[in-house]
Chains A and B, each alone.
Chain A
Amino acid sequence: MHEVSLVRSLLEQVDRIVAEQGGRAAVEVRVEIGPLSGVEPLLVKAAFTQFASDCTLIIDEVPLTARCQSCNTAFELENFRFVCPHCDSREISVIRGDAIRLMSVTVDVPEDGDVQQALPTELVSVETGLCTTSERR
């Protein structure tokens, strides 16, 4: 039951992003949870609603995905069998589904908000290098 402390940490990160964007508040937060994330999605949702009732949390439940180090195939693991289905190798690395990942934050920004505002480098994901902004009205 460490979902509460994880959600607190998640909300601190969200607050920082809102501040960096010069926004008023976060209206939607999207996270990714997999079978080896070590958290229960329902408890994450409950804790989130407790702390941030005005913000929508979207949880994408993703399968546990790994890549075989021998034949380089990426595959979804079933029943936590850490074996490559193609070459039977056990030398595999998990590439998705073993963490709770903050995927995106939608921020309510003032009308004259500067769309081109550069993102601070610390926001760039070390794992994926992903960092983009999009805008909708």
Chain B
Amino acid sequence: MRIELIISGFGGQGILFAGNLIALSAMKEGHQVTYLPVYGPEMRGGTCNCTIIISQNEIASPLVYHPSFLIIMNYPSFLKFMPNLKKGGSSIINSDLVKPEEIKNLQILQKKYKLYFVPVNSLAETINAPMLANLCALGAFYQITKIFNLKNFKEALKETLGSERSHLFEPNLKAFNLGAKYINQNFK
């Protein structure tokens, strides 16, 4: 078992928060993990990505050029990372910002990869929490991979939020569940 995941989107979409949360949940599950944020003068509105590697074995390089999994939160990220996805890899794509009908080579991509179009922005808006689109994507990731269990995720979320932001636990969990449910209902 090994997943090389890149999460990419705008700064401010909670990319690093989601990446950290996945790494922490996977660590609690007993896996080896590395979490590498892009490192540079990033800011809200700019591009932002992070690489998470989850493995049963020792992880040498924290960098990966051909990831096996992508979470694409906006169009520039789609253009940048989609061509690098490993053959047979999976991708969760924010279909609110990357519309399937606007992708020219969609059929080719669908043959090569497993694509999960999830309208994470719209989902998050149904619970009046547009800033939780990242957690919807994370829920989808969980439902597809089951790389960690729910108990470990909840623990990781609680720990990440800390006591100061503990009131955000329920909304975050709700968004997470929405993403997971969407996968369950729309993909086999």
Partners in one complex: no
Q: Which residues in B have some Cβ–Cβ distance to A below 8 Å? A: none
Q: Which residues in A have some Cβ–Cβ distance to B below 8 Å? A: none
